[in-house]
A and B are shown apart, each in its own frame.
Chain A
Amino acid sequence: DTAVSQTPKYLVTQMGNDKSIKCEQNLGHDTMYWYKQDSKKFLKIMFSYNNKELIINETVPNRFSPKSPDKAHLNLHINSLELGDSAVYFCASSPDAVGYGYTFGSGTRLTVV
């Protein structure tokens, strides 16, 4: 069983479209994250939820909105996609908000054309 699963794995879309990336973890972890990996392989945190509550909200455009219907799911919705949004997005989870013992999803490669 996949511990942290992201869908879709690849997403190609046109500028201006709205898209969502889904993330689910079956580890029973309390905390989930969204990271953006830039072209230089550097991971930057975007959001973090602990038990469905937003605890980390880094400076990202408000076109990005996370949604956590329960603690096992953290979806990322992006409105009005721009070329600069193209990147690999990683979902992750950890047992608690301190962050030790991260488990990452396999990533979603978003390409905006």
Chain B
Amino acid sequence: SQELEQSPQSLIVQEGKNLTINCTSSKTLYGLYWYKQKYGEGLIFLMMLQKGGEEKSHEKITAKLDEKKQQSSLHITASQPSHAGIYLCGADIGGSYIPTFGRGTSLIVHP
């Protein structure tokens, strides 16, 4: 089974709409990071969360790690076509030094 579950797998929204992507684990997440991958390009680091309840923002993208450190949500406010791409969460799960990634969420934003 997947240790880091991302949902939804894909998302199509109209420009200007808000959206949320979730990343969930049954184990404690030590360092949860979000990446974005534009289609055909490499992964770009967005932000990292370490403490339970921590919330960070980057432009119109906000990510939060819950108090239990088992779920993170990434929220985009007033989406733009430039937000389109694949959003990937990654984490050090259960103290393991082997990094784990979710499967990614494909986001399409229609003008």
A interface residues, Cβ below 8 angstroms from B: 33, 40-43, 45, 48, 55-56, 58, 90, 92, 97-107
Contact of A99 among B31, B37, B86, B103 (CB under 8 A): B31
Q: B12 an interface residue at 8 Å Cβ cutoff?
A: no
Structural contact, B98 and A41, CB atoms closer than 8 A = no
Q: How far is the CB of A78 from chain B (nearest CB, A)?
A: 20
Cα separation A56 to B97 with both chains bound (whole Å): 9
CB-based nearest A residue for B2: A42
B interface residues, Cβ below 8 angstroms from A: 30-31, 33, 35, 37, 41-45, 48, 50, 86, 88, 90, 92, 97-99, 101, 103-104, 106
Q: Knowing A41-B103, A41-B104, A45-B98, say if A100 contacts B41 (CB, 8 Å).
A: no
Q: How far is the CB of B39 from chain A (nearest CB, A)?
A: 10
Q: How far is the CB of A102 from chain B (nearest CB, A)?
A: 6
Structural contact, B97 and A55, CB atoms closer than 8 A = yes
Cα separation A91 to B58 with both chains bound (whole Å): 25
Q: A99-B92, A107-B41 are in contact. List 7 more A-B contacts (CB 8 A).
A: A41-B86, A43-B101, A45-B99, A90-B43, A100-B31, A100-B92, A104-B42
Q: How far is the CB of B91 from chain A (nearest CB, A)?
A: 9
Q: Knowing A100-B48, A106-B41, say if A42 contacts B98 (CB, 8 Å).
A: no
Q: How far is the CB of A61 from chain B (nearest CB, A)?
A: 19
